């Protein structure tokens, strides 16, 4: 006999999953009795990880007390997005955020989507930034405002950022600033 899952609306009008097959219910009870931990993150972990990314993002948008990085990140955090000349890990991340002077040259999301599953959080969208002027990727980029698409990925260990990646549309930024011809 084939088992089907169906939903039913309760008095609060929110759908509830109904498990018609008693074998499914028995499996759940056995897992609970054996104290089997599922291999996926709980909703609380995912919510916590997204909140940590929001705090990290705030440092990148507006600056602030960089000592909070010790709370948000693991001591051996790997930031794959740092330029090769930057120190690795937390020190490189601190140095980048200090040199970016976000308190005077802020940036921010125009659109942002945050997706989290397990120990990963991905943030994607369009960001506006104020470039103070100077060299960037071997080009002399004049001061100005630009918008570019970016994606950041974070891997978590014990509720803290252990790895970070960034993909940015730097070509679009350089063109908008006039460092490259359109």
Supply the range of the domain harboring residue 171: 43-177
Q: Are residues 141 and 90 in the same domain?
A: yes
- Total domain count, the chain: 2
> Do 107 and 152 fall into the same domain?
yes
Is the domain of 20 the same as that of 72?
Answer: no
**SS3 label, residue 25:** helix
User: Model confidence over 84-139: pLDDT tens digits?
Assistant: 899 999 999 999 888 876 666 667 899 999 999 999 999 999 999 888 899 988 99
pLDDT at 103 (0 to 100) = 63
> What is the per-residue pLDDT across 49-88, written as a single tens digit (0 to 9) for each?
999 999 998 887 777 889 999 999 999 999 999 988 999 9
pLDDT band for position 153 (50/70/90)?
A: very high
DSSP SS3 for 102: coil
Nearest residue to 64 via CA among 96, 103, 95:
103
Same domain, 28 and 86: no
Give yes or no for residue 171 having a pLDDT over 70: yes
- In a domain? residue 182: no
Q: Answer yes or no: do 79 and 160 share one domain.
A: yes
Here the CATH number for the domain that contains residue 55 is 3.10.450.50
């Amino acid at each position: 006999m084939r088992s089907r899952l169906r939903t039913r609306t309760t008095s609060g009008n929110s759908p509830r999953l109904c498990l018609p097959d008693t074998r499914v219910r028995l499996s759940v009870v056995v897992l609970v009795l054996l104290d089997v931990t599922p291999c996926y993150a709980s909703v609380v972990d995912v919510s916590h990880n997204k909140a940590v990314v929001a705090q990290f993002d705030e440092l990148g948008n507006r600056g602030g007390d960089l000592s909070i990085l010790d709370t948000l990140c693991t001591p051996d955090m790997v930031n794959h997005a740092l330029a090769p000349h930057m120190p690795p890990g937390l020190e490189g991340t601190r140095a980048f955020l200090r040199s970016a002077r976000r308190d005077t040259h802020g940036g921010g999301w125009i659109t942002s989507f945050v997706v989290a599953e397990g120990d990963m959080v991905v943030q994607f969208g369009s960001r506006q930034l104020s470039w103070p002027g100077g060299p960037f990727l071997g080009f002399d980029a004049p001061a100005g405002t630009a918008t570019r698409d970016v994606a950041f990925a974070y891997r978590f260990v014990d509720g803290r950022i252990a790895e970070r990646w960034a993909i940015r549309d730097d070509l679009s930024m350089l063109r908008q600033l006039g460092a490259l011809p359109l």
